[in-house]
A and B are shown apart, each in its own frame.
Chain A
Amino acid sequence: MEESIYDKYEPVIGLEVHSQLLTNSKAFCSDPIEYGALPNTQVGVISLGHPGTLPFHNKAAVDLSIKMGLACNCHIREVNHYARKNYFYADLPKGYQITQDKTPICFDGFIDITTKDGVTKRIGIERIHMEEDSGKSMHDQDVFDSLIDYNRAGTPLMEIVTHPDFRTGEEAYAYISLIRQMVRYLDISDGNMEEGSLRCDANISVRIKGVEKFGTKVEVKNMNSMRNVQRAIDFEIKRQIDLIEAGETIISDTRTFDAQKNLTISMRSKEAANDYRYFPEPDLPPLMVGRDWVARIKEQMPELPAQLAARLIEEYNITAYDAQVITELKETAYYFLEICKHTNNYKSAANWLMGAVKNYMNQQAVELKDFPLKAAQLAEIIKLIDDGKLSNSAASQVLFPAFCNKPESNAAALAQELNLIQESDEGSIKPMVEAVLAAWPDKIMEYKAGKKNLMGLFVGEVMKRSQGKADPKLTNKLLMELLDN
């Protein structure tokens, strides 16, 4: 195949991800945070920037930023200065945003991403800094007026800035997925991009392969899903290459992604951009983050998804694929570990979780936290199967749905009630086996002549006679014994 013009170029992409921090109160005051509250009800004099008000530190927001920094292998800064970013907008009550400029709390880290085809790549984390969010302007709620909700004003955010290490939209997708997974594991944020708890901006340029100098950078905003990040980047790469190939120059601008039309649109040129007039925030003395503070956070750090997956493979002997699926969500992983406290059949635990439990949640459209059965109850089912008292099919098709509707019961009693307990007593199965064989003398001849798949027929007949309760394993064994004699 002929080499495409696109292969001549190397895209260079850096990402800036904003994540809300799940704290009970705002970044620089004690106003409460309650998502989904009625507009302008989570606001006091500080959030509204009333005259004479002053900010103070919310240590919980700092804790969460340190957590993310440690998870991203960052250095944690000891002396943290805050800065003001000045600009006028209706949803910015003070006319400036408190942020960190020259001294981000976390710096020089990295995380390893894995793309769909299993390739692992290290992404450099330049910095993570803390800041406060603005309110929300709504231009489409009222015919004549723009409305402003200040509830979000002053809620804490962290911004994670990468080095320009991405080369494809797919890598960016893998990175955002990982960041989302991490903030969820660390209880930093719910990581919901659609609702804006997680927001991503991309800086994109292209250059001829082998050239060291970066091309002209374009910033793309408003990509409100992980998939859109990938789509916007892919579009933008192509747009830039096409422009260059057409002999035109790239304009350094800020663009927005239109998901409907699948293209980026210029919002403003960089030259027309605000001069934010950053300067040190005089109302907040530098925040000292000593070693003790960092050590305390380190102690509270839960296992991260990659570590946990490795442990599942190592300690629970499940496949890499299973481990990856199970650790995708923290809740699933923790549920798996809980089941494994009650059973040694880890493989079965994994299968149940990825099979019946997952199907149930999909069908009912619920999350694991709303799944009716406790891990120990799921382990009861596994035990019944392992003890030969219950067939796999009876367990998954009959007992499991019944149990889910009646979680106050226990597996054994319910199986009894539903008449699902298998005959696993040789004495009671043997007569049935003998009866079946007696009824099919010609088939026995065929079997003995080599038609081994007739075994299925014999087993099925025994099952029929036992009304499905004969332990198939035992039935098999008895049949073999009799037939092979």
Chain B
Amino acid sequence: MADYKQYKQQVLSGETTVVRTVQDFLAKAIQQKHLNAFIELWGEESLMRAAQIDLQIAEGKGGKLAGMVIALKDNICYKGHSVTNSSKILKGFESLYSSTVVERIIAEGAVIIGRCNCDEFAMGASNETSAYGPVLNARDNTRVPGGSSGGCTVAVQAGMCHAALGSDTGGSIRQPAAFCGQVGFKPSYGRVSRWGLLSYGSSFDQIGPITSNIYDCALLMEVISGTDGKDATASSNKVEDYTDLQASNKPLRFAYLDTCLNNKGLDEELRTQSFAIFEQLKALGHTVETVEFPYLDYLVPAYYVLTTAEASSNLSRYQGLTYGYRTEEKGDLDSLFKKSRSEGFGREVKRRIMLGTFVLTSDFYDAYYTKAQKVRRLIQESTEKILESYDFIITPTTPSTAFKFGEKTKDPVAMYLADIFTVQANLSGHPAISIPAGVHSNGMPWGIQLMGKQFGEKKLFSFSEELSKIVSP
């Protein structure tokens, strides 16, 4: 698909209009309804909006995203629109306000086309936990699209929108991007305001773009990044000119983690292809070296202890009292809470709430929560140290390509390990991108992940552009 720059050119030259583009996207979405990417299309509204934007562009007043058609993950609030996090517990809930990211993209002329399916409360790596049923990978309908931002990614993959905004707590943008051959970006923690994002693991969550190319990703990041009085964890660091994608032409230094590339869980072909990319980089004058990172086995456990702890508390607000699903059974207050929550939440969400509740109980707090916090600090320090001497950490985004439906649902730990290469960036807070790296012999795309320095988004995008030219000729 053409990137936004070319598309904008086509609109300006009269080759197409925003209205026609939205019509095309809507048609494709309806045609491919079986993929289950969208929970709701805001067709009429987006067409009216498109007409407005066409006028604005004609008057030369279009914003930075004028006419860009964007899908939202079903956990990002948009005033007057439903937001359910693909959960029964929020069935029928409409947000009374808009998230900061939605306000920012609207201010720049984006058209929001609908909300996308995801794993329930963003908890999952295959989009199989959604109350609305799974999303299918457009490349092979027997395979998962990845998760939790599966709907968003398939919407971009199957040409139903230009871009989507998802959220990434442990890989929920990058992993489906890798499984579907798209670009997915997890910003530095605090780069993008979380105001209006339904919290899962507050100290991990970031909203980020899923796009078909690097430029669109950088452009969206330019718009949605920046400080926000409504989110105390949003950084006041300056937002740089991310769309300036000019290559530095300087030799760069890449680190790869031996424990990662030689992990027994890593698909043999992905290993070989990763090393082939490393060789190409070396041939271009870059340095690619292995570094020690002894914590790989601790990443996923630490991640699950901490995110479930935060989730158990974040999800306490879904009580069936003032909004959302309420049990029909009459009873006292306690049974109202218990029944509404038991009936409203799905299995995986309940599993994580219970796990998180357990690790926070006073008897086990030190053994689990405190320990995991210490591990997180070690991971942060160690990652930071590697990035002091290297520009990027490079790994495959996932240990395998998209797996088949049902393959991992019986074994939650196997499912959790699908995040093994992505959770590091969420634990440490560093920015990370997944870019399409080619196609496996099984016909499925895979992705290569680059992790950059804290708030090093600009450099990450400009090199990603260069790398994408190398890996996908």
Residues of chain B with a CB closer than 8 A to A93's CB: 317, 321-322
Asked if B437 CB lies within 8 Å of chain A CBs, one says no
Contact between A282 and B202 (Cβ–Cβ < 8 Å)?
yes
B333 lies within 8 A of chain A by Cβ? yes
Q: Is the C-beta of A454 less than 8 angstroms from some C-beta in chain B? A: no
Question: Within the assembled complex, what's the spacing in Å between the Cα atoms of A255 and B289?
Answer: 66
A95 touches B90 (CB 8 A): no
Closest Cβ of chain B to A49, distance in Å, is 4
Interface size on A, residues (CB 8 A): 30
B345 CB → nearest A CB, Å: 13
Known: A52-B77, A277-B357. A57 touches B319 (CB 8 A): no
- Contact B230 A95, beta carbon cutoff 8 Å: no
In the bound assembly, the distance between CA atoms of A88 and B232 in angstroms comes to 25
Q: Which residue of B lies closest to A51 (CB)?
A: B198
| Measured CA separation A84–B365 after assembly (Å) | 14
Q: Which of B94-102, B112-120, B411-419 contacts A (4 or more CB under 8 A)?
A: B94-102
Which B residues are CB-close (under 8 A) to A90?
A: 321, 333
What's the Cα separation between A84 and B203 when bound, in Å?
Answer: 14
In the complex, whether A426 has a CB less than 8 A from a CB of chain B is no
Q: Which residues of B contact A18 (CB under 8 A)?
A: none
Q: Which of B293-352 contact A (CB under 8 A)?
A: 309-310, 312-313, 315-319, 321-323, 333-334, 337
Task: Decide yes or no whether B153 CB sits under 8 A from chain A.
Answer: no
Known: A52-B99, A54-B195. A275 touches B361 (CB 8 A): yes
In the complex, whether B438 has a CB less than 8 A from a CB of chain A is: no
Complex formed: what's the CA distance from A86 to B319 in Å?
13
Given contacts A84-B313, A88-B337, A282-B202, contact A48 B322 (CB under 8 A): yes
Per-residue CB contact flags for chain A residues 20-64 toward chain B (1 = under 8 Å, else 0) read 000000000000000000000000010011111111110000000
User: Is A279 a contact partner of B360 (Cβ separation < 8 A)?
Assistant: yes
Q: Is B67 positioned at the interface, with any CB of A under 8 Å from its CB?
A: no
Contact call A279/B313, Cβ cutoff below 8 A: yes
Q: Which of B97, B203, B317 contacts A95 (CB 8 A)?
A: B317
Q: When the two chains form their complex, are residues B316 and A96 in contact, meaning their CB atoms are under 8 A apart? A: yes
Q: Taking CB as reference atom, which chain A residue is nearest B332? A: A146
Question: When the two chains form their complex, are residues A277 and B317 in contact, meaning their CB atoms are under 8 A apart?
Answer: no
Residues from chain A with a CB closer than 8 A to the CB of B172 are none
Question: What chain B residues lie within 8 Å of A277 (beta carbons)?
Answer: 312-313, 357, 360-362, 365
Docked complex: A82-100 residues within 8 A CB-CB of B = 84, 86, 88-90, 93-96
Q: Does B422 contact A (CB under 8 A)?
A: no
Contact across chains for B95 and A50 when beta carbons are under 8 A apart = yes
B129 close to chain A: CB less than 8 A: no
Q: Compute how far the CA of A253 lies from the CA of B85 in the bound complex, rounded to whole angstroms.
A: 41
Complex-state Cα separation, A93 to B324, whole angstroms: 13
**Is B313 a contact of A86 with CB atoms below 8 Å?**
yes
Q: How far is the CA of A48 from the CA of B95 in the complex (A)?
A: 12
Q: Are B99 and A57 in contact (CB under 8 A)?
A: no
Q: Does A355 contact B (CB under 8 A)?
A: no
User: What residues of B have a CB within 8 angstroms of the CB of A56 in the complex?
Assistant: 229-232
Which residues of chain B have C-beta atoms less than 8 A from A302's C-beta?
none
Which residues of chain A are within 8 angstroms of B333 by Cβ–Cβ distance? 89-90, 146
Residues of B within 8 A of A48 (CB): 322-323
Q: At the interface, yes or no: A285 with Cβ under 8 Å from chain B?
A: yes
Give Cα A143 to B322, complex, Å: 20
Give the nearest-CB partner of A84 in chain B: B313
Q: Which residues between 193 and 217 of chain B lie within 8 Å of chain A, taking CB atoms?
A: 194-199, 201-203
A283: CB under 8 A from chain B? yes
Neighbouring A residues of B90 by C-beta, 8 Å? 51
Within the assembled complex, what's the spacing in Å between the Cα atoms of A84 and B231?
Answer: 17
Contacts of A52 in B (CB 8 A): 75-77, 83, 95, 99, 194-199
Q: Does B369 contact A (CB under 8 A)?
A: yes
Residue in chain B with minimal CB distance to A40: B322
Q: Are A279 and B309 in contact (CB under 8 A)?
A: yes
Interface pair B316/A86, CB less than 8 Å apart: yes
Cα distance, A93 to B230, chains bound together (Å): 19
Distance in angstroms from B374 CB to nearest chain A CB is 13
CA distance A371 to B365 in the complex (A): 58
Among A55, A146, A282, the one with the most B-chain Cβ atoms within 10 Å of its Cβ is A282
Docked CA distance A88–B357 (Å): 13
- B248-265 vs A, Cβ < 8 Å mask (1 yes, 0 no): 000000000000000000
- How far, in whole Å, are A94 and B317 apart by their CA atoms in the complex? 4
Q: Are the CB atoms of B313 and A96 closer together than 8 Å?
A: yes
Please indicate which of the listed interface residues B75, B77, B90, B201 has the most CB atoms of chain A within 10 Å of its own CB.
B77
The answer to whether B360 and A50 touch across the interface, beta carbons within 8 angstroms, is no
Is B95's CB under 8 angstroms from A88's CB?
no
The answer to whether A51 and B77 touch across the interface, beta carbons within 8 angstroms, is: yes
User: Does B233 contact A283, Cβ atoms closer than 8 Å?
Assistant: yes
**How far does the Cβ of B307 sit from chain A's closest Cβ, in whole Å?**
10
Q: How far is the CA of A324 from the CA of B318 in the complex (A)?
A: 53
Give Cα A96–Cα B317 distance, bound, in whole angstroms. 8
Which single residue of chain B is at the shortest CB-CB distance from A281?
Answer: B202
Tell me the A255-278 residues at the B interface (CB within 8 Å): 275, 277-278
Min distance, Cβ A261 to any Cβ of chain B, angstroms? 27
Query: Within the assembled complex, what's the spacing in Å between the Cα atoms of A93 and B317?
Result: 6
Distance A90 CA – B332 CA, assembled complex (angstroms)? 11
Q: Are B203 and A50 in contact (CB under 8 A)?
A: no
Q: Let me know if B93 is at the binding interface, CB within 8 A.
A: yes
A284 within 8 A of B: yes
CB atoms of A51 and B231 under 8 A apart: no
Contact string, B351-369, partner A, CB cutoff 8 A, digits 1/0?
0000001001110010001
Using A86-B313, A277-B360, A279-B313 as known contacts, say yes or no to A50 and B96 having CB atoms under 8 A apart. Answer: yes
- When distances are taken between beta carbons in the complex, the residues of chain B under 8 Å from A54 are 194-195, 199, 230-233
Nearest CB in chain B to that of A150: its residue: B322
Contacts A94-B317, A277-B360: A50 and B323 contacting too (C-beta < 8 A)?
yes
The listed residue (A45, A84, A89) touching B97 by CB distance below 8 A is: A45
A54 to B333, CA, bound (A): 26
- Chain B residues, CB < 8 A from A45: 96-97
Q: Max chain B CB contacts within 10 Å: which of A51, A56, A57, A86?
A: A51
Chain A residues with CB under 8 A of B93? 51
The one of B75, B83, B202, B362 in contact with A275, judged by C-beta atoms closer than 8 angstroms, is: B362
In the complex, A56 Cα to B365 Cα: how many Å? 26
A279 with B317: CB separation less than 8 A: no
The CA of A53 and the CA of B309, in the complex, are separated in Å by 19
Which of A53, A86, A90 is most buried by chain B, counting CB atoms within 10 A of its CB?
A53
Contact B96 A285 (CB under 8 A): no
Q: Which residue of A lies closest to B98 (CB)?
A: A52
From 53 to 80 in chain A, residues with beta carbon under 8 angstroms from any chain B beta carbon are 53-57
- Nearest CB of chain B from residue A330's CB, rounded to whole Å: 35
Residues of A within 8 A of B309 (CB): 279
Q: In the bound complex, what is the Cα–Cα distance between A56 and B234 (angstroms)?
A: 11
Interface centre among B201, B312, B317, B323 (most CB of A within 10 A): B317
**Could you say which of A54, A84, A93 has the most chain B C-beta atoms within 10 Å of its C-beta?**
A54
Q: Which of B77, B83, B317, B362 is A49 in contact with, Cβ under 8 Å?
A: B317
Q: Is the CB of A283 within 8 A of B232?
A: yes
> Contact between B313 and A285 (Cβ–Cβ < 8 Å)?
no
CB-CB under 8 A for A283 and B321, given A56-B230, A57-B232, A88-B316: no
Known: A51-B318, A275-B361. 16 other contacts (CB 8 A): A45-B96, A50-B95, A51-B317, A52-B75, A52-B76, A84-B313, A86-B312, A89-B333, A90-B333, A96-B316, A275-B362, A277-B313, A278-B360, A282-B203, A282-B310, A283-B202
List the 4 closest A-B pairs by CB distance, nearest first: A95-B316, A277-B360, A282-B202, A282-B203
In the complex, 6 of the A-B residue pairs with CB atoms within 8 angstroms, ordered by the A residue number, are A52-B83, A86-B312, A88-B319, A90-B321, A94-B317, A279-B360
